[in-house]
A = this chain, B = another copy of it.
């Protein structure tokens, strides 16, 4: 049974404000549709107003500007960040249970920090090192000479090829492959000869990487993921890419070889960036778009090829009117024919 907190207590913790009953007991958190009369819900996306109005929740967390009659409200400056704190409060992480499974194969030359946790059928190769409290899930494979920092967690079935470095407090989800060979071939007379890929992958601190994402090693030097970046599932980062800190790569996005992206890059879902490009800081690429040119800081682009996002939206709106434009051109031609005909008659 989860601990109950009074709504007023929660407001104090979050620096928020209660409209309504500060004594309401909150035993958990649930979505607007599913919350019961002892649960808090949240209204963080404008399209859910009706769901918020109809919610049976004991109280609703929302931004300070929100109005909603007939509900206890917990109003804060940043409702989504507040929600994160509340979820941590009501769903504390399971305590770590450090142990090395007798079914794991840990090379005797590997260095294990204090209180590491290694699951069954994991493999830790020669010269690899795990920081204190690092977790390696069942069936994961840590190649020779890899480094995994303190408090990082690899879920089951992650593969780190030899030489990969993962920083501290990272979370790597199942099926991720870090350090597979970059896609480099020299084509001579139609034959594709492999260019050896002898660089590595470096993942800095506080990075999260989603399920089945792949990040390839550099041909030489590094493929590097900047600190604090968050990568979603099924993303592809090619060899030699440098991704600035604090970046967000949404599901199924891809970055081709040797591209360099600045800090705070946002690639929305299914978007792509071509090889060798230079992308400034703070660039946002819309979903399903493809960047084929360098971009300055703070560019917001969309389309294939990606152009300024507002221009892209305008052209897409006009695109739908192409049939009408075509009809109009025909009408104008007919009218000019007529005018010229009038002229002919005048000759």
Contacts and interface: CB of A to CB of B under 8 A. Distances in A.
B123 A156 contact: yes
A91 to B, nearest CB: 4
A103 B101 CA distance: 14
Interface stretch (A3-11, A63-71, A136-144): A136-144
A200 to B, nearest CB: 12
A303 B335 CA distance: 34
Q: How many copies, total?
A: 3
A190 interface: yes
Interface string A18-43: 00000000000111001000000000
Contacts of A216: 210-211, 233
A52 to B, nearest CB: 14
A1 interface: no
Most buried by B among A34, A101, A233, A329: A233
A270 to B, nearest CB: 5
Contacts of A208: 181, 194
Interface of A: 29-31, 34, 45, 47, 78, 80-81, 83-84, 87-88, 91, 101, 103, 105, 119-121, 123, 137-139, 141, 155-157, 159, 161, 171, 173-175, 177, 180-181, 183, 185-186, 188, 190-196, 198, 208, 210-212, 214, 216, 219-221, 228, 230, 232-234, 236, 238, 246, 248, 250-252, 254, 256, 258, 264, 269-270, 272, 274, 276, 287-288, 290, 292, 303-305, 307, 311, 314-316, 318-323, 325-326, 328-329, 332-333, 335-336, 339-340, 342-343
